[in-house]
Structure 1
Amino acid sequence: MEIKEIMKNVGDFFKEHVAPPHKITSVEAAEDEGWKVTIEVIEEKEYMKKYAKDEMVGTYEVLVNKEKEVTSFKRQDIRFRSAIDVEV
């Protein structure tokens, strides 16, 4: 299944270059025949354990091309892991 492959590629990319993924929350088709993925990662886990009471979760938007390769990513948000995220 194509979405599983996209999720695996994004997860592998983040594990290697950014931080281990916490969860992928969305995978959407993009206008340019690629994909837009939203992923959450635990930010600087060791640093946060040492200096804070709670871990920080970063939410990233990731663009994937039609060959299923990550072409760009940017952090959209950062929050405490225990924070309640309310969407309306």
Structure 2
Amino acid sequence: MRRYNLNVLDLEVSFKAEADPLRVENAKKLVEERFEKLNFPGRQISKEKLLTFLVLGLADDLLQSDHKLKQLNKRVQRIMDKIDSGTT
């Protein structure tokens, strides 16, 4: 298991994970990009609230992707059932 020491949004984070370093770096970049979109100049929102919005947005993305994957799996299963039964 690899050990990571990252600076993400001026926060030092250390953790162990089996994830590839490129995957960790891409995740860090995604978080930083999303944070920058929320943190535009003149906005008077605390960093904690911005991070909460960011986490909620990423959680929603995950839930939507999971839903789409389940729907796709159902479609694939229906197609496979048709193929197995000999009907198209």
More helix by proportion, 1 or 2?
2
Higher relative contact order (CA 8 A, sep 6+): 1
TM-score (norm 2): 0.26
Larger radius of gyration: 2
More strand by proportion, 1 or 2?
1
TM-score (norm 1): 0.26
